Structure 1
């Protein structure tokens, strides 16, 4: 969808213009004060007012002397349909609707009205923002169609923002930390959706970083395609996603009528596409400010901390350590050069205390030397910049830093003060002008820097990733009827995709069980074979270590007896006779199917590692071998796979292949797979493979 007709219009009409302190009044005022300076093809429409803020009004859209590109409708929802018809007749291809009370209420009649609005816009070929939105601000072309008053900056910035909350837009614009290219209050997103706005900003040359407050993903495939495009363009996308908690999910749903989705699945989805996920508005703003300000992003986690006091140096180093920032030693050549410029009692080490014997010239020369070191990728300082800098020493150091940054910058510099304080606007602007952001105090600021480092790491490995997702062909809108396959049926499906399973046979009588055990070779395991008994051990349906024919007969009878007591209605297909596997490291492999984001592949160490320590990795299908290896390496217990306390390293490559095979299975059965579990998978020493000891597949059938 071409959003230039909506976000970059030339001829605009405000419908419902007024001087009252309402969204319509605020929109009218901003419209006149900002857009009115720009050109004469701007119109006010009002049935009640002859003039608004001294500007003549037309009574209806039909009376306008020419065509329009955009109609900003500030009137109640009952009037919207008729006004859209008029706007289309005047040539409009874009519209903004402030009115609320549509599908977000959850009421049947309001949902019906929203559906009618969607049909109307499709018929009229209208790109509609909203309903239930606050409008947008285009700082590049100075187009303001927004329902709140705000301080309009004179120049456009490099951050493009789309939000499903108008108040979030207001909160971010109140900050002096950054400037925006576009600010879009998307509302319910029922015609132009959140993915369309994101794509516009990803394609926009005036936007360096895309920021988003998202309450619900509406079109997962489009979302994935846009994020793939952003990754390929190396344009960062920073997202604050609502719904981490159950109550947050409910609040998001009631606000815009969107489903939030499982938060762990959303995390996995974002990781796949390199999205920088943040936890609050301060972090969103800080990450975007850093990206928009820095001339280049840090290429790797090799930082230098340079301060002017020992206390600052120690506190900074400790905080950096807690956030995973690395401070490598300077090279011998760098240390030698530093000793030549530092005071005699200062030490040429990382982190560095310049001491009170230094000055601005020292700071400039130290910054030059440190960032020439091939082992350093970024310089961070904790200069405390107050509202009115009275300390001549601080000002001198600040000027030294600025002089360094005025030279050609191949590596980034940031200021992370130890405490939050008022900042002098002139100083902020001087630092911004040379590409130096001032980030929040350490624990926030260093978290921001770590996110930037994670993003650049992602870009380095992007070519190894499958930048797509698997989604269902169609959604029936009905709750599926779930059918659990028996263990043997599940393993037949596993084997179809190359997943190693132990030898096994189904026995419907004692004699068949004895014959099967003899054919497979002792020792064996006997298990109840029934899709109606999923927890076999709990039902007394498993006997292990069976070593002879008589033990097979006894175990067979006991298993059937236990199963019938556990679930008298269960459909029993017999007993599964399986080769007793050699013990190995237990792992778990599984699939859960997110209704929006498709199959999610899971792996982790078995036993208490998964259950107690929640040590599991999650990733959206499809999955390639590189991604499978990364999943395994991301586990807290991954060291156990590499060998420990004299034990040999394990065959992680075979486990990675199983993850890929499971991903292939999930993709082929995307329309019917509900969940899948291989638990345990025994992982043997390197080159000796893996084996699926047990498994469960749950499929859906249409009612």
Structure 2
């Protein structure tokens, strides 16, 4: 009965588990089975039977001899053969023994429905969860749960769950898979609602605490399955960003898509927050950036998951942001145009040839503007919808066409459906009304046939925008990959970090950056007034003096920096003032000296930082620099390392990116040099992920085009 999944999970080089017999077991047992439908074990047993499972089913309960007409066994040891998958519905304290029994019989998979583990948030609950995971792993059992609501396989006809969403005749299998930690949200808000909308489900998992097997393990199986085109993930927590990246890459390689709702706003983890980067990096911002970089479509709510899946499952790559809409309802078109523009959709003018075709197709009553008002005169005109739609879809400026239907004839509705099915471009249908001559023809009918049909404009347009963004990501996958720039020395950088007991001073931090070829300001470390005067003279012109101490990361707050200092007397006075201010600010500070630095003028100030995210690892922060970074927080995030194209794209995403171009007579900044700097720091972040906690380059001064960049200030924090 199991689906043929040659080459499925477990046979791949990434080491994901083989879950074929988890999803489609030949034999299944339920420990804690009962006929009492008021109990979880009764409902779960009933659903497994009613779902049409054709393999062997073994109820296990020492207090019963029969359950729903099946012989009931006293223990796993008493079973006549080894089940592939065992469900466990017992009090938490009895679960360890059940897992030991499974291990003794060589059971490969177990689902622990029971609660009373890590979800309690207590030491006892966490200890109990650690215990069952240890027992399972020592016994060779892969574990789903605990505190879960099981799984459903519509492809092979197997369900091990208590959910009421599958009561009644089994729905036909489809091409959408759903995985979540939550049972209610995953099985009702996503799976059941998707089915109500006309979509078919291939697999669904509600994995609870995910103490052993996790969301990504199940999603990998779903992606590998020929039955699945789109995987929908409702995620409360992500533990392994690298594993998720491998999943996303595999999905893309197979021409499949992943959409995700990531709920919760958790802290990125404890950090010193000594740098600006640490102060402005939020866990959800990082997650959002990581998902976009991986090509995972992030949406905001459960309904958006299946609404976006309607378009993703069609497998069409959107070439741009050009949208068009047609309708006999001018009011609907105005609303669609306004909402679409607010979401970033473009409504380009039609090409002359398109306008001519529309004029011929709709003589005397149509409008050749975009969106296109067919007017009520199109009602009953044979082929009016089709002629207009085909003319618009042939326009090279149009990437997506949205037919807006209100109350229309079956003929017109079916015609639009045929046009949508035959089009290489995306044709989501916004149908706000009904069929005038067939009450049985509903939106879900068309969805089941492969169309994307929406009842509300905003839902339609948000799905379109998501798929446009995904199309942009897909087009970028042909770009050159990240390539290590010349002049990087990771070994030397690690040697500099190894002896550090805490934060590095600016001078030490810049030595670290020099290992990666970053251009630094000309500067000298002076340990006396005389040295400071001598160094300033060597540099010539006005200079900057600032205290050097790992204990004073923010020199401005300590009033331990002087700018534009010129002349021997002024340099000597500045040196004394800086040391006095630093001592007053932090009497215990270890002071290495005073840095005497060339003064950079006529430059744009940027921020470039590195932080470590608990899930996604080294994160690069790029943004507007200077003293206002924490106020404006004009930053973007990327996972390291970066290609030059991705670095440039990240820079151009900033709201302040326009300031880097030529503005009011001010020359353009050296963006190429900035891109090179970003790439170099991204490799530093990737190479030193195990030894560098945080890095802050602020300001990074970008000089006029052709003159490069200079690292003016830097702060590095080793990992302890």
Using the size of structure 2 for normalisation, the TM-score is 0.88
Q: Deviations over 1:484-511 (max 9, x none)?
A: 2111111121222111111111111111
Structure 1 residues 95-146: Cα deviation after superposition (integer angstroms, max 9, x where no partner): 1110111122232232222222122212222122111111100000001101
The match for 1:376 is 398
The Cα of 1:481 is off from its aligned counterpart by: 9.9
* Structure 1 Cα separation of the partners of residues 552 and 80 of structure 2: 75
User: Alignment partner for residue 410 of structure 1, among 404, 407, 424?
Assistant: 424
- Given that residues 179 and 232 in structure 2 are in contact (C-alpha distance below 8 angstroms), is that contact kept between their aligned partners in structure 1? yes
Q: What does residue 472 of structure 1 align with?
A: none
Find the aligned partners of 1:592 and 1:677 in 2 and give their Cα distance: 9
* Kept in 2: contact 1:228–1:467 (CA 8 A): no
- Could you tell me which runs of 5 or more consecutive residues in structure 2 were left unpaired when the two chains were aligned: 1-16, 271-281, 484-498
Mapped to 2, the partners of 1:295 and 1:526 lie a distance apart of: 59
- What is the distance in 1 between the residues matched to 2:365 and 2:632? 48
Would you say the 8 A contact 1:102–1:110 is kept in 2?
A: yes
Q: Distance in 2 between matches of 1:576 and 1:546?
A: 13
Q: In the aligned structure 1, how far is the partner of 2:628 from the partner of 2:388? A: 47
Match of 1:335 in 2: 355
SS in 2 for 1:62: helix
Cα offset for 1:439?
A: 2.5
Distance 1:435 1:369, change over 3 A: farther
Provide the C-alpha distance between the structure 1 equivalents of 2:148 and 2:73, rounded to a whole number of angstroms: 24
Query: How many Å separate the matches in 1 of 2:320 and 2:607?
Result: 33
Residue 222 and residue 295 in structure 1: after superposition, are their counterparts in 2 closer, same or farther (change >3 A)? closer
Structure 2: how far apart are the matches of 1:546 and 1:42?
Answer: 85
Deviation (angstroms), 1:73: 1.4
Conserved? CA contact 1:295–1:435, under 8 Å: no
Taking the aligned partners of 2:412 and 2:628, their CA distance within structure 1 comes to 51
Q: Which residue is equivalent to 2:51?
A: 34
Q: Distance in 1 between matches of 2:717 and 2:84?
A: 52
CA contact (8 A) 1:334 1:369 kept: yes
User: Matched residues in 2 for 1:417 and 1:481: separation?
Assistant: 64
Q: Is the 8 A contact 1:482 1:700 kept in 2?
A: no
1:23 corresponds to 2:40: yes
Q: Residue 675 and residue 403 in structure 1: after superposition, are their counterparts in 2 closer, same or farther (change >3 A)?
A: closer
Q: Which residue of 1 aligns with 2:252?
A: 231
SS at match of 1:578: strand
**Match of 1:116?**
131
- Give the Å deviation of 1:419: 8.8
The SS at the match of 2:454 is coil
Partner of 1:75: 90
Q: Quote the Cα distance in structure 1 between the aligned partners of 2:310 and 2:112.
A: 30
Out of 99, 102, 119, which is 1:84 matched to? 99
CA 145–112 in structure 1, closer or farther in 2 if over 3 Å, else same: same
SS in 1 for 2:655: coil
**Aligned with residue 714 of structure 2, among 686, 695, 698:** 695
Moved more, 451-460 or 504-513: 504-513
How far apart are the structure 1 equivalents of 2:482 and 2:76?
46
CA–CA separation in structure 2 for the residues paired with 1:55 and 1:240: 41
* RMSD after superposition: 2.6
The reply on whether 1:164 has 2:208 as its aligned counterpart is no
CA contact (8 A) 1:72 1:95 kept: yes
1:491 is aligned to 2:510: yes
Which whole-Å CA distance do the structure 2 matches of 1:308 and 1:66 have between them? 65
Q: Is 452-461 or 263-272 further displaced after alignment?
A: 263-272
Tell whether 2:286 aligns with 1:265.
Answer: yes
C-alpha distance 430-132 of structure 1, shift in aligned 2 (>3 A): closer
Q: Give the secondary-structure state (helix, strand or coil) at the position aligned to 1:617.
A: strand
Spell out the pairing of 1:121-132 with structure 2 (5 A cutoff): 121-132=136-147
Task: Report deviation, 1:395.
Answer: 3.9
Rounded to whole Å, the distance in 1 between the matches of 2:529 and 2:96 is 74
The answer to whether the aligner puts 1:283 opposite 2:304 as a matched pair is yes
Structure 2: how far apart are the matches of 1:126 and 1:661?
45
**TM-score normalized by structure 1?**
0.90
Given the alignment of the two structures, is residue 143 of structure 1 paired with residue 162 of structure 2, yes or no? no
String of CA shifts for 1:4-39, please: whole Å, max 9, x gaps: 121121111122222322321211111111234x34
Cα offset, 1:652, TM superposition: 0.8
- 2:164 is paired with a residue whose SS is coil
Q: 1:364 aligns to what?
A: 386
In structure 2, what is the equivalent of residue 659 of structure 1?
678
Deviation, 1:609, is 6.5
Structure 2 residue 545 is matched with structure 1 residue 540 = no
The residue that corresponds to 2:192 in the other structure is 174
Residue 220 (structure 2) aligned to one of 190, 193, 199: 199
- Superposed CA offset, 1:74-102 (max 9, x none): 22222222223333444421111101111
Cα contact 1:482–1:698 (8 A) shared by 2: no
Structure 2 counterpart SS, 1:506 = strand
Q: Is the 8 A contact 1:323 1:443 kept in 2?
A: no
**CA distance in 2: counterparts of 1:372 and 1:213, whole angstroms:** 38
Match for 2:371 among 318, 334, 351?
Answer: 351
- 2:5 aligns with none
Secondary structure, counterpart of 1:357 in structure 2: helix
Structure 2 counterpart of 1:3, from 15, 19, 36: 19
Are 1:50 and 1:56, in contact at CA under 8 Å, matched by a contact in 2?
yes
Q: Do the aligned partners of 1:464 and 1:627 also contact (CA within 8 Å) in 2?
A: no
Cα pair distance change 1:700/1:434, threshold 3 Å: closer
Structure 1 position 635, deviation (Å): 0.6
Distance of 2:683 and 2:315 partners within structure 1? 42
Match of 1:445 in 2: 460
Call closer, same or farther: CA 1:60–1:245 in 2, change over 3 Å: closer
Deviation at 1:245, TM superposition (A): 6.1
Q: Residue 174 of structure 1 aligns to a residue in which SS?
A: helix
2:126 pairs with 1:105: no
CA distance in 2, matches of 1:537, 1:50: 79
1:624 to 2:616 alignment: no
Q: Is the 8 A contact 2:328 2:376 kept in 1?
A: yes
Q: How far apart, CA to CA, are the structure 1 residues paired with 2:297 and 2:263? A: 14
By how many angstroms is 1:305 displaced? Answer: 0.3
For 1:567 and 1:351, the matched residues in 2 are separated by 65
Decide whether aligned partners of structure 1 residues 425 and 220 sit closer, same or farther in structure 2, where only a CA change above 3 A counts: farther
Secondary structure of 2:557's aligned partner: coil
Q: Distance in 1 between matches of 2:553 and 2:467?
A: 45
Please name the residue that 2:336 is paired with.
316
Deviation at 1:295, TM superposition (A): 5.8
Give the distance between the partners of 1:129 and 1:411, measured in 2 at CA: 41
Contact 1:164-1:186 within 8 A present in 2 as well: yes
Q: Does 1:584 align with 2:603?
A: yes
CA distance in 2, matches of 1:573, 1:298: 57
What residue is the counterpart of 1:471 in the other structure?
A: none
Q: In structure 2, what is the equivalent of residue 44 of structure 1?
A: 59
1:11 and 1:461 map into 2 onto residues whose CA distance is: 46
Deviation of the 1:335 alpha carbon: 1.6
Partner deviation per Cα, 1:341-362 (whole Å, 9 max, x = no partner): 2140221222111111113521
Tell me if structure 2 keeps the 8 A contact 1:371–1:411.
yes
How far 1:218 moved relative to its partner?
2.1
Provide structure 1 residue ranges, at least 5 long, that are not aligned to the other structure. 250-260, 385-390, 469-479
Conservation of the 8 A alpha-carbon contact between 2:318 and 2:472: no
Q: Which residue of the partner structure matches residue 210 of structure 2?
A: 189
Distance, in Å, in 2 between the alignment partners of 1:161 and 1:557 is 66
Residue in 1 that maps onto 2:704: 685
Equivalent pairs counted in the alignment come to: 667
